Amino acid sequence: MDRLIAATRAREPKLAQLHRFADVMAKSGNVFEWSSDEVTADLASTGGPTSLSTLLGPLYLRSYGLLIPKLGVPGRPAGGIDVLAQLPGYRITFTSREIRDVLTKCGYVHFLADDNFAPLDALLFRYRQKVGSQDVPFLAVASLLAKKIASGVKIAGLDVRVASHGNFGGTFSQARHFAKMFCAVARSAGISAVAVMTDARTPYQPFVGRGEALLALKTIFDGRAEPWLNEHNNRCRLMAAHVASLTDRQPTEGESHEIRARFAQNIEAQGSSMDAFEMKVDAVVAGHRHKLIATADGFLKIDIGAIRDTFAKVHSRLESACQFADELGLILQVPVGSYVKRGTLLATVRATGVIWSEFRTKLENAFQAVELLEYAPGMEETIRG
């Protein structure tokens, strides 16, 4: 694996090589085949904090009557499958027959890459996380496509999250190159694909963490989303529409009560319940006992990369005892770029005493009030003459 990573860093593979590599990883385990009248789709992402696209995407794609066999790997700080794994009883490992049964019940299923499904991809992904090589774009392209091939997806969307900590490059120019590569390799694999580049330099919405993502979903389902979260929800709806545009399907209504019903059907089909969901959300809310306060006047700057690294360190420490640890979460109170006064509440934090005492300074340093921002939402770049 070290040789593979080094080789892909040193030289750009050909599209045929990436297709072959993805195909080998996919076919190292079971591969789904679907009938011609079963239109399968998915909305994946390149990884990055605060987006809910892999959680909301299936709910909106279902409004087009599409089947969503969503094969995933753990994310940091909060990928779709590890968020839902916080719900008591929620199953993420299945046999092929059980996956088809879940799809029959609710139309979409989240399941984990493991010894049965894309095991080589799961092995390589874990190693890339361990050695800090998730940001090799060629391997990211192959990994994403391996899971689409293994799950039999024919319509694929990709949320390309662009930032310095992104897996498709740190700039929009770099990310655009690899997004086109993803679509081209997907086409050679018989998959229709669309990539949507989103700006990950600032938080997409205020709920950060595995448990917090569940709280964000409940807030949307209850119709209580503030503008920041509601805007992100609408972006996720739009990304799903771009994916569905590759078919001839027309949507039914996608109001909050309807996506809530689809969510309920899924978590019940995968072994949990809405009561368990409500209890988990209540526990998350109760856990927000710590505060991050502005120490100066200025424009708010948040270092998303530093927050992501902090979550990764906390999760990696606890993974030996718990596959999907959930010992840290943030709820942001002020959007990036806002002018804040000293003493303003910037975020609340959910953390155990040990985690808070060890990582408090790192979290505080990720929030700064500065006189001059290099970047804020709505400002793409600043050019000086």
DSSP 323-380: TT---EEEEE-S-TT-EE-TT-EEEEEEE-HHHHHHHHHHHHHTEEEESS-S-BTTB-
- C-alpha distance from residue 108 to each of 99, 112, 266, 359 (Å): 9, 14, 7, 37
* The CATH fold of domain 2-275: Pyrimidine Nucleoside Phosphorylase; Chain A, domain 2 (3.40.1030)
Class of domain 288-370: alpha beta
Could you tell me if 108 and 69 are in contact, meaning their C-beta atoms sit under 8 angstroms apart?
Answer: yes
Domain ranges of the chain: 2-275, 288-370
The reported pLDDT for the residue numbered 79 is 83
- What percent of the chain stands above pLDDT 90? 82
- Backbone dihedral region for residue 100 (phi beyond 0: left; psi -120 to 50: alpha; all else: beta): alpha
Q: What is the mean pLDDT of the chain?
A: 93
pTM for this one?
Answer: 0.94
Q: How confident is the model at residue 374 (pLDDT cuts 50, 70, 90)?
A: confident
Q: Looking at residues 294-300, what average pLDDT do you find? A: 97
Cross-strand bridge partners of residue 290:
349
b/e burial code for range 269-295 (CB count within 10 A of at least 16 → b): bbebeeebbeebbeebeebbebebebe
**How far from the centroid of its chain's Cα atoms is residue 29's Cα?**
24
Listed as own residue / partner, the contacts of 260-264 with beta carbons closer than 8 Å and 24 or more positions apart are: 260/221, 262/58, 262/59, 262/62, 262/106, 262/107, 262/108, 263/59, 263/217, 263/221
CA distance 290 to 350: 7
State residue 379's pLDDT score: 56
Q: Is the dihedral of CA 363, 364, 365, 368 positive or negative?
A: positive
In this predicted model, what pLDDT tens digit does every residue of 320-332 receive, in sequence order?
Answer: 667 788 999 999 9
Give the chain's length. Answer: 385
Nearest to 15 by CA among 258, 147, 161, 181: 181
Cis geometry, peptide bond prior to residue 77 (ω within 30 degrees of 0): yes
pLDDT for the residue 254? 58
**Residue 30 burial (C-beta neighbours within 10 Å; 0-12, 13-18, 19+):** middle
349: confidence class by pLDDT, cuts 50, 70, 90: very high
**Per-residue confidence at 104, pLDDT binned at 50, 70, 90?**
very high
The beta-strand segments (E) located in 80-191 are 108-112, 155-162
Mean pLDDT within 139-147: 96
Which two tokens mark 244?
């569905």
Banded model confidence at residue 284, pLDDT cuts 50, 70, 90: very high
Place of tokens 């600043």: 382
| Confidence band, pLDDT 50/70/90 cuts, at residue 76 | low
Minimum mean pLDDT among 101-115, 123-137, 214-228: which range?
123-137
**Mean pLDDT score, 50-64:** 95
According to the model, what pLDDT value does residue 74 have? 78
> What average pLDDT does the segment 160-172 reach?
90
pLDDT of residue 135: 81
